[in-house]
Chain A
Amino acid sequence: MNNAFLWLIALPLLASPFVYILGRIPFSRAAFRTVRLDGHLVLENPRSRIPAFLALAVMLIMWVFFAMTASQFLANGAQSWTFGSVSLRLDGLSLLLAAVALGLGTLVVIFSGPYMADDAGEEKYYALLVLMVGVMIGLGCAYDLFNLWVWFEAMAVSSYLLVAFYHEQPAALESGVKYLVQSAAGSVLVLLGIALVFAQTGTLALDQIQSAARATVNAPALLAAGALFLIGYGVKAALVPLHTWLPDAHSQAPSGISAMLSGVVIEAGLVALLRSLGSLSAVTPSWSTLLFIFGALNMLLGNLLALRQTQVKRMLAFSSLSHIGYMLLGLGIAVYSGQPGGAEGSFFHLINHALMKGLAFLAAGALLYCLFIATGSHNALLISDLAGAARRYPLPALALSIAVLGLGGLPPLAGFMSKWQIFVAGFQTHDLVVMGLVIFAALNSVLSLGYYAPLVNMMYRQKPSTAVQSGKPLPWIMGIPLVLLSLAIVAIGIWPTLVQWLSAPAGAALVSMTAFGR
Chain B
Amino acid sequence: MTWTPLTLVLIGVICLLGVGFYGLLISRNLIKIIVALQILGKAALIAFVMAGNVNGQTGQGQALAMTIIVADTIVAVVGLALAVQVRRRFGTMDIKALSNLKG
Contact = CB atoms under 8 A, between A and B. Distances in A.
A207 interface: no
Given A188-B43, A198-B51, A177 B78 contact: no
B55 A164 contact: no
A184 B67 contact: no
B101 interface: yes
Interface of B: 17, 20-21, 24, 30, 33, 37, 40-41, 43-44, 47-48, 50-52, 54-57, 60-61, 64, 67-68, 71, 74-75, 78-79, 82-83, 85-86, 88-90, 95, 98-101, 103
Contacts of A202: 55-57
Interface stretch (A165-173, A414-422, A452-460, A496-504): A165-173
A201 B51 CA distance: 10
B55 A198 contact: yes
Given A173-B85, A191-B68, A180 B95 contact: no
Contacts of A187: 75
Given A153-B71, A160-B78, A170-B89, A199 B51 contact: yes
B89 A188 contact: no
A181 B37 contact: yes
Contacts of B17: 192
A192 B75 contact: no
Contact of A157 (B33, B78, B101): B78
Contacts of A173: 82, 85-86, 89-90, 98
Interface of A: 38, 85, 146, 150, 153, 156-157, 160-161, 164, 167-171, 173-178, 180-181, 184-185, 187-188, 191-192, 194-196, 198-202, 247-248, 251-252, 305, 308-309, 314
A248 B41 CA distance: 25
B101 A175 contact: yes
Nearest to A178: B98
Contacts of B88: 38
Contacts of A184: 37, 40-41, 75, 79
Contact of A191 (B20, B47, B78, B82): B47
Majority SS at the chain A contact face: helix
A32 to B, nearest CB: 23
A310 to B, nearest CB: 9
Contacts of A153: 71, 74-75
A174 B88 CA distance: 13
B85 A185 contact: no
Contacts of B21: 185
Given A191-B44, A191-B68, A199-B50, A177 B75 contact: no
B48 A198 contact: yes
Nearest to B52: A198
A171 B44 CA distance: 32
Contact of A198 (B61, B82, B86): B61
Given A157-B75, A192-B44, A195-B47, A171 B55 contact: no
A167 B84 CA distance: 10
Given A184-B75, A199-B55, A308 B103 contact: yes
Contacts of A178: 98, 101
5 contacts: A146-B64, A150-B67, A168-B89, A174-B98, A199-B55
Given A184-B41, A198-B48, A198-B61, 16 more contacts: A157-B78, A170-B90, A174-B100, A177-B30, A177-B82, A178-B98, A181-B33, A185-B21, A185-B37, A188-B37, A191-B44, A195-B47, A196-B47, A199-B50, A202-B56, A308-B103
Q: Considering the complex of A and B, which 5 residue pairs feature the smallest CB-CB distances, nearest first?
A: A199-B51, A202-B55, A191-B44, A195-B47, A188-B40
B37 A177 contact: no
Given A150-B71, A160-B78, A177-B98, A196 B85 contact: no
Given A157-B75, A202-B55, A177 B100 contact: no
Contacts of B56: 202
A461 B57 CA distance: 68
Contacts of B55: 198-202
Contact of A195 (B51, B67, B74, B100): B51
Contacts of A150: 67, 71
Contacts of A177: 30, 79, 82-83, 86, 95, 98
A209 to B, nearest CB: 12
Given A181-B37, A188-B40, A171 B100 contact: yes
Nearest to A170: B89
Given A85-B60, A170-B90, A185 B48 contact: no
B78 A161 contact: yes
B14 to A, nearest CB: 10
Contacts of B37: 181, 184-185, 188
A195 B48 contact: yes
Contacts of B86: 173, 177
A174 B101 contact: yes
B19 to A, nearest CB: 13
A196 B51 contact: yes
A157 to B, nearest CB: 6
Contacts of A201: 55
Nearest to A85: B60
B83 to A, nearest CB: 8
A177 B21 CA distance: 17
Contacts of B82: 160, 164, 167, 173, 176-177, 180
